[in-house]
Structure 1
């Protein structure tokens, strides 16, 4: 997970994040990558799951949008 996104979500530095799945699709002029992450605390316990969508326009001006949700 990118450090900027980790900070935006508010995941503590001592927590570990593991990517569990990835998908990619193109639709309506957008290229969208979807990532699933599990967050573990310092003791190794699962504390949260996240879905992150990273969408980029395939046409100028090539805007990018990153959204996330907590499961």
Structure 2
């Protein structure tokens, strides 16, 4: 799991995150990456499954947004 995602989305840094799906979409002004993770607690129990959207504008000012999809 990207440390930037953990910080930006307030995820529990003590949990383990397993990437289960990744895809990219190119639409209009945005280049978006979607990553789906399974989150496991310290005991190895599945807590939840969630998707993160990491979108960057293709043209100046090239802003970037990280959010839950």
Q: Same fold (TM over 0.5)?
A: yes
**What is the CA distance between 1:52 and its match in structure 2?**
0.2
Match of 1:24 in 2: 24
Could you list the runs of 5+ residues in structure 2 that have no partner in the other structure?
Answer: none
TM-score, L = length of structure 1: 0.83
**What is the CA distance between 1:7 and its match in structure 2?**
3.2
Match of 2:45 in 1: 45
CA RMSD, Structure 1 to Structure 2 (Å):
1.5
1:11-65 CA-to-partner distances (Å, cap 9, x unmatched) read 3333111111001011011100000010001111100111100000111111111
- How many residues are treated as equivalent by the alignment? 69
Could you list the runs of 5+ residues in structure 1 that have no partner in the other structure?
Answer: none
